């Protein structure tokens, strides 16, 4: 198992390298450049040229990429073109809130979806099942910006139960409780989509398992029905769900760009949007690298979880 993980990590390196090359090309193909985005349109061209030279934008793209890669090998992600802060610091500040938001919505969403999906499967084709199907379609179909604004309108403006945005109360003490209080609305928006998708998935997976002979064996042993479902069936139904669980993590990072914008959540998503708008190449390259690492790591995590959950699967 350990040698398998080591091998997978080694294979990931060329994949990561390839991803950075493609990212760099895409970024260069995009119209505009950092200097145009930065500076007053009435600035004299000579000044613009000087600025470009200073940022190293006049050398050929291949050289620019080579320099970035060389820096990376030495552990340097470079400096932001817009704030001149070290990119590593920018990401370090922002990654925590994003991870908090992503995992809160992932686990919260799964905690809600799991019992609902099971209930739908066990009571299939009843009014409850149809209601859950309807609910899941609402969850999938509601765009996050609409649901987000709706929640802000209702919970912040109308009832004043929850804050409209941010991560800490301005001028407040801060702390974890305060952060969690601010987390509720953005996490709910992200979780809604997860719940919608996962109810269907868990229901289907559970339906598959409910017909299995080994459940009849368990019943014939005298196992109570709640354990037949909650233990014998669920353990098997969870196997395919684990795969989508891991695949959900990268999707969450993407989804957080929008949600962080709506709720002013100080995470990676906001940083990504700002650096795209200002063509902040070093920050973008670093963010893409982080995203690529997250995707590869979630895949590896999924495979590792799978071996732990299913005794029939072993990697060598």
Partner 1 sequence: MSGYTLEVENLTVAFRTELGEVRPVEGLTFAVKPGETLCIVGESGSGKTVAALSLLRLLGKNGGIRAGSVRLNGEELTRKSETEMRSIRGRDIAMIFQEPMVSLNPVFTIGHQLTEAIRLHTDRRGKAAKAHAVEMLRRVGIPRPEAVYGEYPHTLSGGMRQRAMIAMAVACEPRLLIADEPTTALDVTVQAQILELMKRLAAGSGTSIVLITHDLGVVAEMADQVAVMYAGQIVETADVYSLFENPLHPYTRGLMRSLPAFGSEREGRLSAIPGAVPPLSRLPRGCRFHPRCPMAESICESEEPELQPAEVSRRVRCWAASGEIRRFAGRQGG
Which parts of this chain interact with partner 1 (CB under 8 A)?
212-214, 216-224, 232, 235-236, 239, 309-312
Smallest gap from Cβ 164 to partner 1, in A, equals 46
Smallest gap from Cβ 140 to partner 1, in A, equals 29
**Comparison of 67 and 224: residue with beta carbon closer to partner 1:** 224
**Comparison of 303 and 310: residue with beta carbon closer to partner 1:** 310
Q: How far apart are CA 186 and CA 98, in angstroms?
A: 11
Smallest gap from Cβ 244 to partner 1, in A, equals 18
What distance lies between CA 66 and its chain's CA centroid?
Answer: 29
Which residue's entry shows tokens 């930065």?
A: 38
Q: How far apart are CA 90 and CA 84, in angstroms?
A: 10
Smallest gap from Cβ 162 to partner 1, in A, equals 41
Retrieve residue 290's tokens.
């982080």
**Comparison of 49 and 217: residue with beta carbon closer to partner 1:** 217
Retrieve residue 95's tokens.
């990654």
**Comparison of 76 and 124: residue with beta carbon closer to partner 1:** 124
**Comparison of 8 and 124: residue with beta carbon closer to partner 1:** 124
Smallest gap from Cβ 301 to partner 1, in A, equals 20
The helix-helix angle for 87-122 and 127-141 (nearest 10°) equals 160
Q: How far apart are CA 162 and CA 240, in angstroms?
A: 36
Q: How far apart are CA 206 and CA 235, in angstroms?
A: 10
């Amino acid at each position: 198992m350990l040698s398998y993980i080591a091998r997978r990590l080694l294979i990931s390196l060329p994949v990561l390298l390839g991803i950075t090359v493609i990212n760099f090309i895409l970024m260069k193909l995009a119209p505009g450049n950092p200097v145009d985005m930065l500076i007053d349109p009435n600035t004299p061209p000579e000044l613009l040229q000087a600025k470009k030279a200073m940022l190293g934008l006049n050398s050929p793209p291949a050289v620019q990429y080579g320099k970035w890669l060389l820096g990376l090998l030495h552990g340097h992600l470079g400096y932001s073109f817009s704030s001149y802060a070290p990119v590593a610091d920018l990401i370090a500040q922002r990654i925590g809130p994003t991870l908090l938001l992503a995992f809160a919505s992932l686990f919260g969403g799964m905690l809600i979806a799991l019992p609902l999906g099971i209930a739908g499967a066990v009571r299939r084709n009843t009014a409850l099942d149809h209601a859950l199907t309807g609910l899941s379609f609402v969850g999938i179909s509601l765009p996050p910006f609409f649901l987000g604004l709706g929640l802000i309108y209702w919970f912040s403006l109308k009832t004043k139960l929850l804050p409209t945005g941010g991560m800490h109360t301005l001028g407040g003490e801060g702390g974890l409780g305060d952060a969690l209080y601010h987390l509720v609305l953005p996490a709910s928006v992200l979780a809604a989509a997860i719940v919608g998708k996962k109810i269907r998935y868990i229901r289907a997976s559970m339906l598959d398992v409910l017909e299995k002979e080994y459940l009849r064996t368990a019943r014939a042993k005298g196992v109570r029905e709640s354990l037949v479902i909650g233990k014998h069936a669920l353990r098997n139904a969870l196997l395919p769900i684990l795969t989508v669980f891991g695949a959900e993590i990268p999707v969450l990072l993407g989804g957080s760009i929008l949600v962080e914008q709506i709720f002013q959540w100080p995470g990676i998503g906001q940083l990504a949007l700002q650096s795209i708008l200002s063509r902040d190449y070093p920050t973008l390259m670093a963010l893409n690298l982080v995203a690529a690492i997250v995707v590869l790591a979630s895949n590896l995590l999924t495979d590792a979880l799978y071996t732990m959950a299913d005794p029939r699967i072993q990697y060598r």
